[in-house]
Amino acid sequence: MNYQQLHEAVKNGTIVGAVGANGKKDRFFISDSGSLCRFKPRSSRRGYYVSEFDLVRYTQFLPFKPPPTGDEKLNKEYRLMEKYKRLAGEASFTNPFIRDCLALPDFDAWKKDLVEPSPWEKDKNPRPKTLYELHITTGTSLDGKVISLNRIAKKYPREIERLCEAVRNSLARIIITGRWAKFAGYDISIETEYNAETGDFRGFLSLEYAGCGNGYYYLLINDENFIGYDVD
């Protein structure tokens, strides 16, 4: 693509940006004077002039992507739910969380079971239930995020061996705890819980800000993974 073609593509909206050789993205716009420009980082009003000689810095041009349709949005939302259901199906143990995940509806049933918008959402239409409304998570940005035991084992191999033993034998244990235990910049704690009366086995992972008592909380969804549940 030469300079004139790029200028025209940005002008008519078919190209919105580019990726440089360093992996960084630039967003393009046409200035009031008609020049091809790139936005300053984190700005939507100001930028820099792009010359013909600047094109060699780009390895890929980014086309405009139309906003997703209603069906595309629904499919994306359901894929998140399907992730919980699929991973829970791989568990060798059970508990209320696992049973709730396995009981998640299929796509057609979920799409038809609508909830009315809140009184303050008068401009919105009825929609399918969220993971929060289906009692799977508390409905945060952590939904769907997975941390594998293998990842934790790279730093705490012995502790994860103890966790795997607890899973195999349904043992209640404190695997890792205390401010000395760090993972990805957070205080980490892992515990398991077993109810002999019901046969339910549960695993908990907490990643908290140092000395704060607040952070990110995951539940053991199968023998190999924790998955996001709550943010405090």
Question: How does pLDDT run across 1-33, given as a tens digit for each residue?
Answer: 899 999 999 999 999 999 998 899 999 999 999
**How far apart are the C-alpha atoms of 60 and 8, rounded to whole Å?**
17
Q: Considering only CA atoms, give the Rg of the chain.
A: 24
pLDDT at 70 over 70: no
**How far apart are the C-alpha atoms of 160 and 202, rounded to whole Å?**
15
Q: What percent of the chain has pLDDT over 70?
A: 97
**Strand 15-20 relative to strand 25-30: parallel, antiparallel, unpaired?**
antiparallel
Least confident of 26-40, 41-55, 98-112: 41-55
**How far apart are the C-alpha atoms of 107 and 105, rounded to whole Å?**
6
pLDDT score at 130: 93
pLDDT at 121 over 70: no
pLDDT score at 176: 92
pLDDT score at 157: 96
pLDDT at 117 over 80: no
